Structure 1
């Protein structure tokens, strides 16, 4: 039987290792550097989005990949952190002026600034994480079919839920956020279909593409209130999508657990948040991961070796570019058959017998 929800992906229960090779301020910010023993004149660089490099999510993973790539080729890397979206263009320009050979921009929101800079500087290589809108000989998109992994995350959340209600909410309503939410919703729906259950999803309607959003990627009151909205609807597994916003969701969940003892859990995104944020690890059932660090590292290495290409890198279940993290502390608490079910779904997605799709896909 062929299932056609939206896009989802699951890398078994192993940590993602995207081994498939890819082939501030308005004034110029100061950039920090990383050096390896072998020296090279090649300079790979990166601009974060407003979430910052300490988001324990995709900016941080991108920076990890930049540093790893620079070390591998004996280069000095530079990075500039964006205080907000008004400085994206000036931050890119500052790195062009510092003679960067490769400039990697992190996030969909930097698309316009990256496109303009790439057009104005055809001799500089650019790469875009989570954006495939710019088509140019000197721009390489790094994208991920995260709906595949989120599908499995939604299935796992529905299986684990005790209240029969799970939820998701996002930061900004952009494709790189809603692709997670689409996959999560369809995974819940698939669980209900297979198990003849009626687990309810709150926070996102995949058909109308409407749901709960904070309006940005900052941790704070809006994110905490969004999480509380889902908690008030009895959601006991919640997936916040939008970098640091999960940190405020964790505060709301901890408060609820302390007062009720309900054992509400979170599903992380981008990284294995159990590993990247030990202070909140007890809350994470699992995480929907992107192999941002290894993908970025490979782009740096290709560019340094003169093998830069505009051909997009697409992380999928098949190439281990996306996946579901281990259940860690919840491994003994999940249904005994869940892992086998997830393995079968993963295999079905890879062989095409389960078709997963999302209107937010960056890979179409």
Structure 2
């Protein structure tokens, strides 16, 4: 993906110095949404963990939404604060919140900000991929926090159908970063899509998993799959990619942040392997000489939501809530645009059909928490 540049405004990534802190009371913040003062000059901070704003997918897509806002509001500014220590993400928010008008927090590790947000009702927070919780894990809604989660299983489902229909070897796989809910959703959705294509469209694709790289979810359950164990470990991504391709896999769905670039390299070094990108259109990242390794990309439109929420903050219309975004709001999908994918027209037709069935609720792919499995979900049988 072509990275959007904001060099004049991005002063550089900061390494957060972690200091001991204490959280306040988890009372709901009292935000006055009637404030109509000009907020075009917002001072915005994006906090990242286990990856940065140039990861080519997840964090970068959230950042791009900020860039789109600043393009239209040049008085606004943005800075990235990055911490590589996942255990210190909440402390990073505590250390940073006083200095900015808006925090954008991409990732599950930033969920437990309830007390901090309640103590800072004049600060607006956009949380990606998790509902906001208190430090004890209790889900809360706050007037100054908008949290978005996506039905990644739906995008993953479409990726699985595409892989099953386009594979030449009959072997496909999914590679993830860490078994957070968004990643297990992608995994289970992909596996559901492969099963659906085999059952409904006559494919016979086999899912390949490497037991030594099986994932463990937040409940301590083995979810199988192929997990790097990080969103930034390119070397392990390359090892997994090489191993899968050596076992005959020719299409790999990669949902692993910057760590997925290792799998991309494996595909580029092979003769036949293709990759399905994630979160954003990664076609530009797939260029390999005069060819391209990207079959298509599974999408969730984080940049659009971040951009929209920043505009609501600017207009004094921001509302805190925990929102689930899905095919019903056209917030997930897969790339079918000509020149940005390498799918057959027959596959595109089946993807469009499947998307419509998901949107109307006839097909409900398995996710990490909806009680269905990739071999038993509504619409499969």
> Would you call these one fold, judging by a TM-score over 0.5?
yes
Distance change >3 Å, CA 305–CA 252, structure 1 → 2:
same
Structure 2 equivalent of residue 11 of structure 1: none
Structure 1 equivalent of residue 51 of structure 2: 51
Distance change >3 Å, CA 307–CA 173, structure 1 → 2:
same
**Deviation of residue 343 (structure 1)?**
1.3
Please give the alpha-carbon distance, in whole angstroms, between the structure 2 residues aligned to 1:217 and 1:208. Answer: 19
How big is each residue's C-alpha offset from its partner over 1:111-157, in whole Å with a ceiling of 9 and x where there is no partner?
23x33431332321211111114323122112211211211111011
How big is each residue's C-alpha offset from its partner over 1:71-102, in whole Å with a ceiling of 9 and x where there is no partner?
4455422222314035534542443231x222
Distance change >3 Å, CA 236–CA 181, structure 1 → 2:
same
TM-score by length of 1: 0.80
Please give the alpha-carbon distance, in whole angstroms, between the structure 2 residues aligned to 1:292 and 1:197. Answer: 32
| 8 A contact 1:314–1:321 mirrored in 2 | no
Structure-to-structure mapping, 1:121-132, within 5 angstroms: 121-132=120-131
**Deviation of residue 110 (structure 1)?**
2.0
**SS where residue 239 of structure 1 aligns?**
strand
| 8 A contact 1:282–1:329 mirrored in 2 | no
Task: Pick the aligned partner of 2:364 from 343, 355, 358.
Answer: 355
**SS where residue 209 of structure 1 aligns?**
strand
Distance change >3 Å, CA 357–CA 291, structure 1 → 2:
same
Please give the alpha-carbon distance, in whole angstroms, between the structure 2 residues aligned to 1:277 and 1:97. Answer: 40
| 8 A contact 1:169–1:240 mirrored in 2 | yes
Distance change >3 Å, CA 279–CA 80, structure 1 → 2:
farther
| 8 A contact 1:73–1:301 mirrored in 2 | no
Task: Pick the aligned partner of 2:264 from 246, 250, 271.
Answer: 250
How big is each residue's C-alpha offset from its partner over 1:221-264, in whole Å with a ceiling of 9 and x where there is no partner?
2111111232232111001211112211122222232xxxxx11
Aligned length: 321
How big is each residue's C-alpha offset from its partner over 1:15-55, in whole Å with a ceiling of 9 and x where there is no partner?
xxxxxxxxx42339xxxxxxxxx984533322122210110
Structure 2 equivalent of residue 104 of structure 1: 104
Runs of at least 5 residues in structure 2 that lack an aligned partner in the other structure: 1-13, 19-37, 134-139, 216-220, 371-381
Please give the alpha-carbon distance, in whole angstroms, between the structure 1 residues aligned to 2:72 and 2:234. Answer: 37
Task: Pick the aligned partner of 2:334 from 309, 324, 327.
Answer: 324
| RMSD, aligned α-carbons | 2.7
Please give the alpha-carbon distance, in whole angstroms, between the structure 2 residues aligned to 1:71 and 1:302. Answer: 16
Structure 2 equivalent of residue 88 of structure 1: 89
| 8 A contact 1:70–1:300 mirrored in 2 | no
**SS where residue 253 of structure 1 aligns?**
helix
Please give the alpha-carbon distance, in whole angstroms, between the structure 2 residues aligned to 1:64 and 1:142. Answer: 16
Task: Pick the aligned partner of 1:155 from 152, 157, 161.
Answer: 161
Corresponding position: 1:136 with 2:146: no
Structure 2 equivalent of residue 171 of structure 1: 177
**SS where residue 105 of structure 1 aligns?**
strand
Structure 2 equivalent of residue 187 of structure 1: 193
Please give the alpha-carbon distance, in whole angstroms, between the structure 2 residues aligned to 1:229 and 1:176. Answer: 24
Task: Pick the aligned partner of 1:292 from 296, 299, 302.
Answer: 302
Distance change >3 Å, CA 120–CA 277, structure 1 → 2:
farther
| 8 A contact 2:45–2:81 mirrored in 1 | no
Runs of at least 5 residues in structure 1 that lack an aligned partner in the other structure: 1-23, 29-37, 258-262
TM-score by length of 2: 0.76
Please give the alpha-carbon distance, in whole angstroms, between the structure 2 residues aligned to 1:238 and 1:248. Answer: 12
